[in-house]
Amino acid sequence: MQEDDSTSQSMSDKFNITVPDGWVIQHVYSTDTITLLEEMMQGSRLLARICLQDQAIANIEGTYDCEDSDESIYIQQYPNLADQPEFAAIANSNIRNENLLEYLIMKLQKLGYNEISILSNTNMTINVINSDTNKTIVAVVPTNLVQMRYNSPNSTDTRGYFMLAATNATSNLGIISGYSLSYEGNAATSPSSFPPEPILSIFKSFEFVKEAREGGLAALNVEDNDYGNEAFNSTRRPTLYHEDPTVSFPWSW
């Protein structure tokens, strides 16, 4: 991990993100066998938490713990989606962001979330940068910024914002993994359409990191997607598609 001003880079997890003033990041490294087995069973890994500094616990080595924060952004990975039984009927190269969204909704329901509805779904892109320069964009991948409303397990009316990408950008073997940045707020006070600032800025700053010695990206299958050519650029200008807020999605596989 390298820190430079407010930019945090994790080479082990291959991402780069900007943490604004007043916020801190906790990188989560799973090394013990029990945790790794739990992650394999859950099909997901928590890579990092970002929270307000005044809600974090400072550790003596200069790092922070965001576990007890009331307001956090979670960065998660869903490794090798094709290995999950829910994707058994989908070829690895055909896994798209909409499949990851369905998978996420199913997981939320298993955790006790209910009355889930999609309020908006916005097409965006994530840059893949060269780790040697931290600037050179070697590729871009499509992502969806999804706003949902649901009841949390404690029956709180909640608005959730999720930036989702199913991509092989971190694999040299063409293996597609899922990535999710998520933030939750009270539905009565959270804004519609997009997350509040600086949450949106943090989301938009997320980048994948590719080491030069790893070579080029495995071929990205961009055929038959819903993004069109305009999505594959680095302008980060979102295209917003509103969906019916009254429709709930009781997904089953």
What digits encode the pLDDT tens for the residues 130-141? 877 767 888 999
- Quick: pLDDT tens for 183-210: 999 988 887 778 999 999 999 999 999 8
- Quick: pLDDT tens for 10-48: 888 899 999 999 999 999 876 555 555 666 667 788 999
Q: Average model confidence (pLDDT) for the chain? A: 81
Buried b (16+ CB within 10 A) or exposed e, 20-43: eeebbbbebeeeeeeeeeeeeeeb
Q: What residues does each domain of the chain span?
A: 2-242
pLDDT at 34: 57
- The predicted model gives 148-170 an average pLDDT of 94
CATH superfamily, with its number, for domain 2-242: Mog1/PsbP, alpha/beta/alpha sandwich (3.40.1000.10)
The answer to whether 64 and 25 are in contact (CB under 8 A) is yes
For the chain, where are the alpha helices, taking DSSP H only? 33-42, 97-110, 199-205
Residue 19: name the closest of 205, 150, 242, 217 by CA.
205
Check residues 240 and 222 and name the one with the higher pLDDT.
240
pTM above 0.85, yes or no: no
